[in-house]
Amino acid sequence: MRDRTIIRRTFLAGAGGATVIALALEPVIRWALRDRDYDLGMLQLTLAYNTGVGFSVGARQPVWLLVAVTAALTVALLIYGWRSAGKVPVITTGGLALMSGGAGANVIDRALDGRVTDYFHTGWWPTFNLADAFLSVGVVLVIIGAVWEERHSAPATRTGLDTGR
């Protein structure tokens, strides 16, 4: 039980840390990009604002509705991460922490002024921010954890232990 408590605390620390890092970077980025863009080759730093959610979906919806829905989904994700911590591979818990932190940062950012600040631009993908990157990396880690768990918890019939008698 003690190990599970440690994993749960680590999950919360990871989610909180991701939220703080993403939110702390935003004012710095807004200041640095207030009057110019930076071309880093495959990645450009350019200031943009998204009044919707992913891919600008819901941009015409009332801010309160977007904040309420995304906050509810974030809380559900946090609860799931907390409850599954110690029962799923550690990589899955880490992915859920990053997803929760990224989602939380975007909820707070949107709640402050009705929009999310974006600044990473590739030219072939919608402009995004660090919180979105945390969400995306978290999803990849959860998928890796699911594959890992599937491969390492094969049913007895796959291992040859089930003789059918």
Residue in the structure block whose two tokens are 């110019």 = 36
CA distance 10 to 97: 9
For this structure, is 37 an active site residue? no
Residue 39: beta bridge partners? 44
Catalytic residue among 39, 113, 118, 162: 118
Q: How far apart are CA 45 and CA 35, in angstroms?
A: 12
Which residues are bridge partners to 38 per DSSP?
45
Residue with tokens 């969400």: 135
Catalytic hit among 35, 37, 109, 132: 132
Helices 90-113 and 63-84: crossing angle, nearest 10°? 160
Tell me if residue 132 is catalytic: yes
Active site members:
118, 132
